[in-house]
Structure 1
Amino acid sequence: MSNIVVAALYKFAKLPDYREIQQRLFDFCVAQGLNGTLLLAEEGINGTVAGTRAGVDALMQFLRADARLVDIDHKESYADTMPFDRMKVRLKKEIVTLGVPGVDPNKKVGKYVEPEKWNTLISDPEVLVIDTRNGYECDIGTFRGAIDPRTTTFREFPEYVRRNLDPAKHKKIAMFCTGGIRCEKATSFMLVQGFEEVYHLQGGILKYLEKIPQEQSMWEGECFVFDQRIAVGQGLKEGTHEQCFACRHPVSLEEKASPRYQPGISCPHCFDSLPQRTRERAIERHRQNELARIRGKAHIGVTQKKQAETQRES
């Protein structure tokens, strides 16, 4: 088994002192040799870190020592190499940005559905299944029969709901996302909008892929993750996708065989739409990366690893 533990975690909790927590949390993570990104806001904590078994266990124990985070959950997967460059603890207005005042998962959320019961729920023809992730994530994998709203950021989800869904018509709605945080906040928003029967996958896709055997799985494809691995599959094994440096869209093995795929410069998703200035920057970045590779050291500019880190669960 790979020796790097990757832990995705979040918890909606009232943290009015989140600014005071920042430095103490950062220092603790660094002392444990952890890398990754944690977001703190008054509404809670969210993020992904990676390190040794002992380091991750110590962090979870540290967080659970706070009575407000005593029941914080996390999802684990594994990597052969450290998937993050450094440790960051950032302060935010929201730990996942919806941008709608009055939506508070600490007060009201939908019904949690355990992975073992998810298949039964989404097989119900009366249930509308919605993927709350961004379009580039849905492109490489989703649940059978799920609706892809084609959002580019989570902030666009409320507008999708207002334009396409009606509480009087859509009586049962089930939502999911990577780790559970976006769909949880989405259920809070939906309840405020008047939808009454709203469900969300507890632990998200990651927990489902971890717990549900391949032969029983209703998941199709791979799941995008916000680190150097780019994607994982059933059993949380590292996937086959890479990432386009220019547009950040995941690229499959088949797409890499396309003449429109130029490593570090373009892919089939952006070949026709990439602005010339962006293309020129990508070409220069690729040239610098190749020079650094020849010299035997990493280029100080943007790397694929850092690109994935900047795409937090927005």
Structure 2
Amino acid sequence: MEYNDITARCTFGGKTMSKDYRVLLYYKYVDMPDYEEYAAEHLRFCKENELKGRIIVAPEGINGTVSGTVEQTERYMNYVKQDPRFEDLWFKIDESDEHTFKKMFVRPKQELVTWRLDDEIDDNPNNLTGQYLSPKEFHDALLDEDTIVIDGRNDYEYEIGHFRNAIKPGVQSSREFPEWIDENLEEYKDKRVITYCTGGVRCEKLTGILMNKGFKDVAQLHGGVVNYSQDEEVQGRLWDGKLYVFDERISIRANHTDEDVVIATCHHCGTTEDRYINCSNPECNRQYVCCTECEEKHEAACTTECREHPRNRWPNIKETYADKKAQ
């Protein structure tokens, strides 16, 4: 990456980025016995430099998404790479008009992604993980009719966008994957299986789980859909819909060709739509696809019961809705 303090422009992957803010997505599996102390120091640095985002630090490594100005994110990347454990850390960089988070969280946890696997299973990706495929290799594998494509994300992420012909996981969290694999994929053990997720962190372990369960030919999209989307050659081809992301943007474009389509539909009226909102009933807070017309008509509630709930937040968010509608 080339950085220029005067123009505040960034060149990344051959694409010139000129917006004022950057979004950094990254992870690395590495032993971190000092993870709690590291998390505390990390939070201090982020707050001092006015960064926002969500970072998990665990005994097995780090996983984060951070937003800030060009200067702030450049300073952050330099800070992280000063630690020898992260000198080769791969930051996937996107641009934004503003912060994509409201606050800064750095949390010490036991896992980067909650799998809760049996203790006897070696789930360290540094010991066992699937073959890495470049965007071009993954694209070519998608065209092979004998290849089984598994979406390594949750079902609500799949709903708004996925690779063509990918198998939808019937899960709402990663810890449900082992049982889902046992119940649904037994017939594919002798097939070539490829997986993908947003940035790659989930597939590092998912592919290892598949291999532990006897799948013989397992591979993963290196760097996830974010890397695939930014690749100059494939440009996100064969991806349908939007890519769900875990920040204020909620979803972003992943297919940068004329093949880009919308595949999700409004929960209420069935109109083609790709925007998620949260139910206005705080005791539900379900995230669902909803068009702007139905958001107003149903007062941002996913059901009649939620709309009539005494704690419904719609009276307090009308102004926000009006602002969004005017944009």
Query: 147, 166, 175: which one pairs with 1:146?
Result: 166
Larger deviation: 213-222 or 68-77? 213-222
Q: Does the residue aligned with 1:78 lie in a helix, a strand or coil?
A: strand
Query: 223, 242, 250: which one pairs with 1:222?
Result: 242
Query: 153, 169, 184: which one pairs with 1:133?
Result: 153
The equivalent of 2:54 in structure 1 is 37
User: How many pairs were matched up?
Assistant: 284
Native 8 Å contact 2:236 2:254 kept in 1 = no
Aligned-partner residue type, residue 210 of structure 1: Q
Query: 65, 76, 97: which one pairs with 2:82?
Result: 65
Q: Distance in 2 between matches of 1:160 and 1:111?
A: 22
Q: Distance in 1 between matches of 2:23 and 2:102?
A: 13
Aligned-partner residue type, residue 288 of structure 1: N
Asked if 1:178 is matched to 2:198, the reply is yes
Native 8 Å contact 1:41 1:95 kept in 2 = yes
Query: 138, 155, 175: which one pairs with 1:155?
Result: 175
Aligned-partner residue type, residue 60 of structure 1: M
Q: Distance in 2 between matches of 1:285 and 1:3?
A: 33
Asked if 1:117 is matched to 2:123, the reply is no
Query: 117, 121, 137: which one pairs with 1:100?
Result: 117
Normalising by the residue count of structure 1, what TM-score does the alignment of the two structures yield?
A: 0.81
Shift of 1:99: 1.3
Q: Distance in 1 between matches of 2:212 and 2:232?
A: 32
Shift of 1:196: 2.2
The equivalent of 2:289 in structure 1 is 251
Normalising by the residue count of structure 2, what TM-score does the alignment of the two structures yield?
A: 0.78
Q: Does the residue aligned with 1:21 lie in a helix, a strand or coil?
A: helix
Native 8 Å contact 1:245 1:282 kept in 2 = no
The equivalent of 1:304 in structure 2 is none
Shift of 1:282: 8.3
The equivalent of 2:269 in structure 1 is none
Query: 26, 32, 50: which one pairs with 2:67?
Result: 50
Native 8 Å contact 1:9 1:73 kept in 2 = yes
Q: For residues 53 and 184 of structure 1, do their structure 2 counterparts lie closer, same or farther at Cα, with a shift above 3 Å needed?
A: same
Q: Distance in 2 between matches of 1:94 and 1:184?
A: 13
What is the percentage of aligned positions where both structures have the same residue? 32
Native 8 Å contact 1:214 1:234 kept in 2 = no
The equivalent of 1:287 in structure 2 is 315
Query: 66, 77, 93: which one pairs with 2:94?
Result: 77
The equivalent of 1:19 in structure 2 is 36
Q: Distance in 2 between matches of 1:149 and 1:41?
A: 26
Q: For residues 257 and 57 of structure 1, do their structure 2 counterparts lie closer, same or farther at Cα, with a shift above 3 Å needed?
A: same
Q: Return 5+ residue gaps in structure 2 as ranges.
A: 1-17, 263-272, 280-284
Shift of 1:59: 1.7
Higher relative contact order (CA 8 A, sep 6+): 1
Native 8 Å contact 1:34 1:87 kept in 2 = yes
Shift of 1:279: 4.5
Native 8 Å contact 2:22 2:95 kept in 1 = yes
Q: For residues 169 and 195 of structure 1, do their structure 2 counterparts lie closer, same or farther at Cα, with a shift above 3 Å needed?
A: closer
Native 8 Å contact 1:77 1:236 kept in 2 = no
Q: Return 5+ residue gaps in structure 1 as ranges.
A: 297-314
Q: Does the residue aligned with 2:42 lie in a helix, a strand or coil?
A: helix
Q: Which digits, 9 at most, give the CA deviation of each residue in 1:140-193, with x for residues without a partner? A: 111111110121111111111111122774431100011111111101211222
Native 8 Å contact 1:244 1:251 kept in 2 = yes
Native 8 Å contact 2:277 2:300 kept in 1 = yes
Q: Which digits, 9 at most, give the CA deviation of each residue in 1:94-125, with x for residues without a partner? A: 10111113312132111011112211112222
Q: Which digits, 9 at most, give the CA deviation of each residue in 1:205-242, with x for residues without a partner? A: 111111145777111111011111111113789x9843
Q: Distance in 2 between matches of 1:220 and 1:136?
A: 14
